[in-house]
Amino acid sequence: MSSADTPTAPPSDPAASAEAAAPGGLKRAEAVARAALLDVESYDLRLDLASDTETFGSVTTVRFTSRGGTTFVDLKPASLRSVHLDGHPVDVDLLRRGRLPLETTEGPHELVVDAVMAFRNDGEGLHRSVDPADGRHYVYGMSFMDAAPSVFACFDQPDLKAPYTLHVTAPEDWVVIGNAPATNPEPGVWELEASQPLSTYFVTLVAGPYHLVRDQHDGIPLGLSARASLAADLDADAEELLTMTKQCFDEFHRLFGIRYPFGDYHQAFVPEFNAGAMENPGCVTFRDQLVFSSKVTRGQRIQRATTVAHEMAHQWFGNITTPLWWDDLWLNESFAEYMGNRVTADVTEYTDAWVYNSFSRRQWGLLADQRPSTHPVAGNGEEDATAALQNFDGISYAKGSSILKQLNATMGNEVFLAGAVDHFRSHFFGNATMHDLFASWERAGAGDLSDFTRGWLVTAGPDRIVLDRAAGALVRTPPPGSPADRSHTFRVATARATDPAGGTAGTGPWALTRVTTRGGRTAYEPEAGAAVVLDPYDDTWAVVEPDAETLAQLPALLPRTDDALLRAGVWNGVRSGYHHAAVAPAAVVDLVEAWLPTEDSDAAIAFTVPWLLRDVLPLTTDGDDAAARVHEAGLAGALAAPAGSTLQLAAFQAAAATAPADRLEHWIAGEGLPDGVEVDDELRWRLLVRLAALGATDRPALDRWLAQEPTTRTRVEHARAVASLPEAAAKEFAWERFTGAVPATNYELEAAGLGLWRPGQEHLTEPYVDRYLQALPTIAEVHQGWVLGQVVTAFFPLTSLRDETVAALHAAADAPGLDATVRRRVVDATDDLEHRLAVARAFGA
C-alpha cells in the first residue's frame, strides 16, 4: 500500500445490530488460536452487483479442515439470509459483532454463507460511487485490515491464505477485473479463474463501465483502467505507465530471480480511494488522481512512478511472502518503500527519485518518530488488528525504508538480495516474521544482526545530532525512554558564504567529508566560520539541525548549491530546527526568498512551500509582508523558469498560494500570466481556493464555477473553497459534513476540514474548538475505518494557539472509552499544536 461518508442507519436485523456494536478488531491471540485450528483450502464467491445500487448479493463457500473445536467466521452483512455448515443450517441470530460462531469436528468442512452486503462509499469494502461527470456507477473492492467481511464471509487474518474463485453478475455494460484472469461467457456474467493463495486483505474486484488499455510484456498480460470520463487522459498517460511497469518488471526479475507469479498484472485507477494504492495481486488499485487530467509537475510524475514501483515491489514483499501478523507490517511497507524508490531511480526516466523522496517523505517519518505515539519499526506489539492500522505511518514507510537502505549499505547488495530471495523461497505463498527474514540474511552471510535489530528496528525514536562549535563536538542525544547506543556514519557538507571557490565537484560551494559518531559526543571541529550541514544525503536516521552560524549563511549558499539532494538535506535540517523552535519563522522566510527563484527541482518547491504556508507564515510577526515576499519570489521563479516547464508551474503555484486578491482575479480571467502558464481546471481551482480564503469571492460564484465542470476533482476543490470562506455559513458548511448531517465523500470531508481552519479566521473558528471536543466521544459512530482517522485530523483545531486548547485536547484524549483511532489522531495533532505554540513563544508571533 502506498493513504465517503455514509452515516449508519438504524439496523433492522440482529446481524446488523450486532455489527453496529462492534468495539474493535481481531486480537492476535484469537488469530493464533484460529490458525492452529484451521487450514483453509479455498473460497468460492458469487457476487450479484446488478440487482440493486445500495446492496449486493454475496454467497460465500469456504472449504476448510479443522482439528476440531469452536471457532468463528467474520461477517458484516446488511442482512443474513442463511448459513450452512456441511449442509446443516446454522442459526443466523448467533451473529454478534461481526462474528458467527461455528462448532467444528475434526476433518474437512464446507461453509456456505448467503448474505446481502451494503455497498460502501468510504473507500473500504465494496465501494460504489457515481461519477458526477456522466452519472455512471463504479465499484471497487478494498479488503484491507477488517473490510473483507463486508464483502464476503471469511476467516479474516493474514496467515489463513487460500485461492479464490469469483463468479460475478454485473450490468451488461460493465467490465469486471479481479485477482485472476476473467472471462465474459455471456452479457453480464463474469467468471474469474482460481487465484493463487491470497490473504483476505488482498481480495479485490473492480467493476463498472471502465475504459481499458491492454498490453503485454515478457509473457505477462498488462492492463490499465479508469473511469470513462478519464479515457482520454488514461490514453495520454498509458505509454508512460506501461513503460515504467515493463522496466520495473525487468529489474525486479533481475534482482530476485523469481518471476511474478500472479498471472495478469492490471493497474486500476479508481475513484475516491483512501490510500495512494493497494497491492492486490493481479489487480493493483490506485487513486485515480494519478491519471493526470491537468498539467502537473515533474514531482507529481515521480510520485506516480514510485507508487507504481512500490506496488510492484509488494508482489514479492507482501504478496508472495506475507507477514504472519500486523506487527510485522514493515516487512511489507518499508521494503516496498525502499525498493520502489531504488528501482524507480535505477531503471526509469526518474533518476531523481531519491531527491523527491527526501523532500516528500523524510520529515513525515521524522515527525512521526518524535511524537508521543512513536513505535518501533518492527515488532510494534499491536495485539488488535484495527489498532494496527494506526501504525501505517511515516515510521513504517519512511523510517523503515531509510533503515533498510542503511542495512543494504552495511551488508552489501549481494548479501541483502540473497537473503531476501531466500526469504521468499522459504515462505513461498506463505507467511513469515521479521525473525524469519533476519535468519535468511544471516544464512546469506550478514553475520549476527541482533545488535542492528535491537538498535534500529525494535527501539523507537530518532537520535538528535547537533554541532557544538564551542566544544568542537557532534552531540548525539537519544530519544527519551529509548537509550539505544547507536553509531551513525554520514557525510557532512561545509562551506563559507564569503568563499567564491567551489567545493567537491557537483555540489557548488560545499566540501564533503564523512564522519562516524559513537557515544554521546564525537570530536568534530569545522573550519572557523564555515557553515556545516549534517547528513545532507540521508545516510542515517537522525534529527539534525543547523546551528545559528550555518543558518545565517544559508540564504547566500543555498542558491549556489548545485546538488539537488544536498539542497533537500539543507531543507530537512531547517525544518527539523523549526519544529524544535530553534529556527525562527523570519529566518525561514529569508531563506525561501533567496532560494525559491533559483530552485530547479519542482518537487523541492511543491513540498517546501505548502509547509511554509501551513506552519511558518501563520507564526511570522509580519504575516502580510512575509506572504508578499514569498509571492514575489515565486513569481520571480516562474518568470525565470523555461516557459511552459513543470518548474515554472511549481513556482507559479507558490506565487498563486500567496497572491493578493486583485492579481488572482486577473489570473483567473487569463490576464497578466507569465508566458507559458495556462490556467487549466486544476490551476483555476488553486486560484479560487486562495481567493475564497481571502474573502474575495462568495458561495454563488464558487457554485457557478463548479457547474461549469462538475467532476470528482472540482467537487472536492469546491468543498475546500467554500469551507475556506471567512463567513459563518462556510464554517457551518464544513461542520455539517464532519458530524454527518450532510453526507460527503471521503475526499470532500478532508477538503472541508482543511478549509475550515484557515489562519486569520480565528474569530469564526474558535467556537468550533469546543464543538470539536464535544464531538470526539461519538465521532466514531459517524465515520469508520480509514475515513475516521482522516476526518479527526482534518478537522483538528490547528490554528487555535492557546494553552487552554492544548489542555482541553489532552483531557479529551485521556477520556476513558475514546475510540483508539480518535485518540491516536488527537494525540499526534496535539503534539504538532504544542510545537507550533513553542515557536510562537520563542519568536513572538
Q: Residue 515 gets which letter from DSSP?
A: E
Asked whether the predicted pLDDT for residue 3 surpasses 50, the reply is no
Instruction: Return d(Cα 367, Cα 708) in angstroms, integer.
Output: 41
Per-residue pLDDT at 384: 77
- More confident of the two residues 24 and 531: 531
CB-facing half-sphere around the CA of 201: CA atoms within 13 A: 21
Scanning 257-351, the segments in alpha helix (DSSP H) are 298-314, 330-347
Query: Grid coordinates in use for 496?
Result: 563559507
Query: Of the candidates 150, 147, 128, which has an alpha carbon nearest to the alpha carbon of residue 16?
Result: 150
Query: Of the candidates 326, 286, 289, 332, which has an alpha carbon nearest to the alpha carbon of residue 308?
Result: 286
> Domain 4-208 has what CATH class?
mainly beta
Reported as a pLDDT band with limits 50, 70 and 90, residue 380 is low
Query: Of the candidates 759, 756, 777, 751, which has an alpha carbon nearest to the alpha carbon of residue 768?
Result: 756
Per-residue pLDDT at 498: 85
Contacts of 717 (CB under 8 A, 6+ apart): 685, 688, 689, 751
Reported as a pLDDT band with limits 50, 70 and 90, residue 14 is very low
Per-residue pLDDT at 8: 28
Phi-psi region of 371 (alpha: psi -120 to 50; beta: other; left: phi over 0): beta
Q: Residue 815 gets which letter from DSSP?
A: S
Long-range CB contacts (< 8 A, 24+ apart) of 553-558? Answer: 553/495, 553/496, 553/497, 554/591, 555/590, 555/591, 555/593, 555/594, 555/595, 556/497, 556/594, 557/495, 557/497, 557/508, 557/509, 557/510, 557/531, 558/591, 558/594, 558/595, 558/598
- What residues act catalytically? 311
> What is the rounded average pLDDT of the residues 3-13?
31
Q: Is the pTM for the entire model greater than 0.85?
A: yes
> What is the rounded average pLDDT of the residues 754-773?
97
Q: Where in the chain is the domain with CATH 1.10.390.10?
A: 210-428
pLDDT tens, position by position, 566-615:
999 999 999 999 999 999 999 999 999 999 999 999 999 999 999 999 99
> Which amino acid appears at position 273 of this protein?
F
Which strands sit side by side in the sheet containing 175-178, from one edge to the other?
125-130, 137-142, 205-208, 175-178
pLDDT tens, position by position, 444-495:
999 999 988 888 998 899 999 999 999 999 999 999 887 778 999 999 999 9
Asked whether the predicted pLDDT for residue 273 surpasses 60, the reply is yes
Buried b (16+ CB within 10 A) or exposed e, 465-490: bbbebeeebbebebbeebeeebebeb
Per-residue pLDDT at 503: 63
Query: Grid coordinates in use for 520?
Result: 554521546
pLDDT tens, position by position, 172-202:
999 999 999 999 999 999 999 999 999 999 9
- At residue 753, φ and ψ (nearest 5 deg) are -65, -45
Per-residue pLDDT at 21: 30
Q: Where in the chain is the domain with CATH 2.60.40.1730?
A: 4-208
Per-residue pLDDT at 330: 83
Return the minimum-mean-pLDDT range out of 68-77, 437-446, 506-515, 726-735: 506-515
Per-residue pLDDT at 11: 28
Asked whether the predicted pLDDT for residue 10 surpasses 80, the reply is no
3-state secondary structure of 468: strand
Per-residue pLDDT at 18: 27
Asked whether the predicted pLDDT for residue 785 surpasses 90, the reply is no
Per-residue pLDDT at 736: 98
> Domain 210-428 has what CATH class?
mainly alpha
Instruction: Return d(Cα 304, Cα 340) in angstroms, integer.
Output: 11
Query: Grid coordinates in use for 61?
Result: 463457500
Per-residue pLDDT at 506: 65
Per-residue pLDDT at 502: 62
- How many Cβ atoms sit within 10 Å of the Cβ of residue 841? 12
Phi-psi region of 69 (alpha: psi -120 to 50; beta: other; left: phi over 0): left
Instruction: Return d(Cα 126, Cα 45) in angstroms, integer.
Output: 14
Reported as a pLDDT band with limits 50, 70 and 90, residue 23 is very low
Long-range CB contacts (< 8 A, 24+ apart) of 468-473? Answer: 468/521, 469/526, 469/547, 469/549, 471/521, 472/523, 472/524, 472/525, 473/521, 473/522, 473/523, 473/524
Interhelix angle 564-579/602-611, nearest 10 degrees = 10
Asked whether the predicted pLDDT for residue 15 surpasses 60, the reply is no
